[in-house]
Amino acid sequence: MRHYLIALGLLGSSQLALAEQDPFVSMSLFFTPVSEVDSDVGGTFDGSGFGGRVEVGGALHAYAEYMLGNLDDNAADLDFSDTRLGVAYRSHMDAGYILAAIEHADLDFDIGGEEKGVGVHLGAGFDATDSVGIYGRVGMLSLDNLDGPEVRFGATAKLNQGTKVYAEYRSAMLSETGNDVDVTDLRVGVNFSF
């Protein structure tokens, strides 16, 4: 019986540790000073945008993210949106975490059409110092007519217990027969955790 009580105590303390490392609600607001869609068929459009992200849950969490960009190629405007809805699991290590995520992706290229599908990512994050962290993800997007790898790399700086600022670089290298489409953006934002 004592072994069961010790096991329950260890399980409870590990869940408390996860609760301390994984807030139940996390919200981010970001600005995209550099956003670019480069297509073999449609040319290069660049501009800026903004968006937000919400995570709900602990180590296993659901998230929603939306980014809207206003791009142009000096001849035409392109409104581009990127919507992600997903589920991820984050497992903590001594100085960081590893992560696996699956998501529904919806990329709307305005004049170029909408591409919907699935993304699968693996990632990791590490604490470089007590207040600075680095992270990255690699994965694949499989959309209606476009498929290819996607990478994300970023850094965070903790301002206080519940607030971080961050910068993130993202690039999706998508292709279909006869057309390559690269979607790249740089995001800077603030994250609030509760």
Q: Where are the domains of the chain?
A: 24-193
- The candidate with the shortest Cα–Cα distance to 43, out of 15, 77, 84, 3, is 77
State phi, psi for 14 to the nearest 5 degrees. Answer: -70, -35
What's at 87, amino acid-wise? Answer: V
Res 106: pLDDT: 96
Topology of the domain comprising 24-193: Lipocalin (2.40.128)
What value does the mean pLDDT of the chain take? 86
For the stretch 136-179, pLDDT in tens is 999 999 999 999 999 999 999 999 999 999 999 999 999 987 78
Cβ contacts of residue 10 below 8 Å, gap of 6+? none
Confidence label for 96 from pLDDT (cuts 50, 70 and 90): very high
